[in-house]
Chain A
């Protein structure tokens, strides 16, 4: 069902009472505040300006074993004004959401742009985007901030009890929920007026098994954070899976350490998403490619001149980017440049075909089209929007293939589940990943658990070793709340979908022998 902005502003009759929009009755209307900022920016000589009013409400809750250790609810509300003057950006933000303050912020942003204009070598140009007047919200069933604290605590405490009852060696169970609602209103000097409400839900727990003489090992739940309501948590079966998670922690602690050497790897979606994120998601960001992140997050082995030519991997590799996938953490209606979100191919038949882009990259090498791909994001009203990763996903294979069949077709390998240690170089090539749980595969069967497994490879070598990709029945969406990038650093929520896939002859190391 589409809700028009007019209907929404008319009293949010279609929304539950708690889901008020960024504007609330005792505060000025966003439109009035934004108009004051846009007018002041134009009077100060801006060529373009935009205004974001953002209200963020978050609840972080943590438990240990049978009790709550912390609960914190935060609310943040403010205004950020971005001005393009003399070909240079300026940005100013503050917590006072009034027309008077908005005007002052616009003038400050113009002053900043003016101060930096003398340093400018290439005046900023914006890719065209039609003005949008629209609303968008994450479809949810249960507002995560309205679910009683006791219900949330009970889920984690019951999980801890179930884990400890099943396995006495479980020494600690730490649980958490992270729940966030981001409401934002975007207005631009080009006429856009967009209001969005984005809901994100995540949580889970970690069990630690301890045995004297063996040390300790941990095992985590596999509840991916989602652009969803609390119904996502309730359907996950946290309590039901606790005994198995506990047993696997002990199995892991008692398992043999892996024998280093080249092995075939079958990677579960709960693990492979992070490898996709680090090696494919980041290497296809155009700002990295052009050196804009060189001082911090790094650049990319993929260069602009290789667009359409660079072979990332085997022909069955098809990778998309989107901000429209249902449940995706990066999914929304419009990015923070006011660009309508899209789905597009990054890698087709194993070859790089596009970079992720934002509006101010137009005319730069690698931009790739007349329009931005909608990848702008700012993590609060106080942050400057810049290029952030959309949901980047490996598409399922076209031939029918299940996880069980891939394992059955593997003679000597390792099946890796969940996230572990992860590290990749600043050009996104040399990487090393651990996992949360490891099964040795022998003659097509899961033979025994393993411990201290990590693998090393480089991006093109790894993706060229992929020889099996399961079909759509096995495709799953995982992700993370906190992808860090930029200076000052900002955090971007992003999802990655994939099916299980197999990779041949990957260098496996014993992570317990740190000189490996």
Chain B
């Protein structure tokens, strides 16, 4: 292994894994049975242990940063199931996320690809206004009923598979929530504190009704809710695509914005955003004051984590007489270690019967854009999940992340399952009186 001051083996200096991060793996193999891509392929290099070994070989100059290393970094779902399974504390998902960033440095995209990627990641996502306008044609398209026509005429079978899937996944779109939501929603009943609500991009665009319920529930639970309209994308898509620089810029903006709000907590109902917000501390290490990062990190909560921590005021909740099963979003259970709390909340809604499915914490195959890039493999991962859902016979499939919700709703519809797919907060919203 050769390591000059700013370069580890065959990695480029910018955004490289640390040698310690790859050396930590003692190769016990405990991660193997938890990895969806290893289950699919049976290929060691597509397993967490194998991927970390590849990164180590690059660090030790046994291997160049080859196309296969790039391929594995993107084939990794980044579901973090291996992090949960690893007794040694290896974070293979994060090592791969960093390798994605290496991929862009070591294999620059062609001009068109690069411009397109930069347009999405550096122009659209950081700008909430632009993002909302861009969704206008999609809403118009649905309103005019073309969606119905297209779906039923199999017209899209002619197009590339991912486009068809993306079209099929689109839920019925309402108006984006962000412009409609008040900056300040007053608490109801006895006041318990002041909460900053981080409204995610996918939530405002695709699931405005879910987040509307989140804010309503928070208010009903006695919290004054501040929703800063200037909030930008959390940076998760950028981390996932290996654009760590844009992610840092967004993180810095959101950090300052929310710390200026004088809120006790920063709450989100999107597991992907929550996981990213909790990683600001590491992402911005050295770029922002440690005290600020620690203060921010200390306030961030997923909505279920938050309600469970402060205690749900369940008096007056209306019964929801339905049987439900719960799918754990990877970015909630593996990235944030939140498994108990959503189940606890479900248990506190009168009338709800929770039926556990097998492998509740196994990925659904959505994984940001993975489900569109690897549509065949994504389908296989999804089928495994849907079979487990089906076995429960529950009426509702509950989850807590928009990516999962899109994928599961699409999958359930395609497979003709009876389960409707809903966010935990929709259920809690239904139980919360006006």
Partners in one complex: no
